Amino acid sequence: MAVVLDSFISGLVRTLMDMAKEEVDLLLGVPGEIQKLQRTLRNIQSVLRDAEKRRIEDEAVNDWLMELKDVMYDADDVLDECRMEAEKWTPRESDPKPSTSCGFPIFACFREVKFRHAVGVKIKDLNGRLEEISARRSNLQLHVSAAEPRVVPRVSRITSPVMESDMVGERLEEDAEALVEQLTK
């Protein structure tokens, strides 16, 4: 489960980084909330490996992971809402109307003030829930674990020496030209 959550969190962090670059939190009326969400997710991500190891033996850790998973799904739902709303504002290739959308399709959803407010409230709520989860991780004594080093298998590239007489196609072009010449006579 931690592998899935790790991947999920990584994707959310990348999207949040894009949003932070565009200062979307100012558009949403929640300055600093996206960066806060990003930091909290990274902090939680750093203990996922330890949590995964302990979740079978420790019910509290398992509950913590399940709650984290629920919040991640809720965060993904918020991003999906933005994507769907953005599709309403992103012109299709077949539309003859001039383009009035911004360059990033997901950010087009922030044109509607009411929608921006709703998304801002949801992001604040997500931050609150994630902060609670993050605070509980110290009670569970989850430790930051370094990423396991990847083992790259070494493939032997040693080959046996090739004798010239064993080479196939050595004179292929010459033989093909000779054959064509004989057939065309």
Please indicate whether residue 113 or residue 135 has the higher confidence score (pLDDT). Answer: 135
Q: What is the mean pLDDT of residues 87-96?
A: 62
Tokens of 118: 């709703």
Amino acid 42: pLDDT: 84
Shortest CA distance to 10 belongs to which of 106, 152, 147?
147
Q: What is the mean pLDDT of residues 61-83?
A: 87
Query: Could you give the C-alpha distances from 23 to 3, 19, 30, 32, in angstroms and in order?
Result: 30, 6, 10, 9
Please indicate, yes or no, whether the overall pTM of this predicted structure exceeds 0.85. no
Amino acid 150: pLDDT: 45
List pLDDT tens digits, range 19-49. Answer: 655 555 566 666 677 778 888 888 888 888 8
Please indicate whether residue 147 or residue 143 has the higher confidence score (pLDDT). Answer: 143
40-43 — which CB contacts under 8 Å span 24+ positions? 40/127, 40/130, 40/131, 40/134, 41/9, 41/12, 41/13, 41/16, 41/130, 42/13, 43/134
Q: What is the mean pLDDT of residues 56-66?
A: 91
Confidence check: pLDDT of 169 > 80: no
Please indicate whether residue 174 or residue 149 has the higher confidence score (pLDDT). Answer: 174
Nearest-angstrom CA–CA distance, 134 and 142: 10
List pLDDT tens digits, range 43-60. Answer: 888 888 888 889 889 999
Helix axes 113-139, 33-45, angle to 10 degrees: 30
Confidence check: pLDDT of 67 > 90: yes
Please indicate whether residue 159 or residue 117 has the higher confidence score (pLDDT). Answer: 117
DSSP letter at 185 equals -
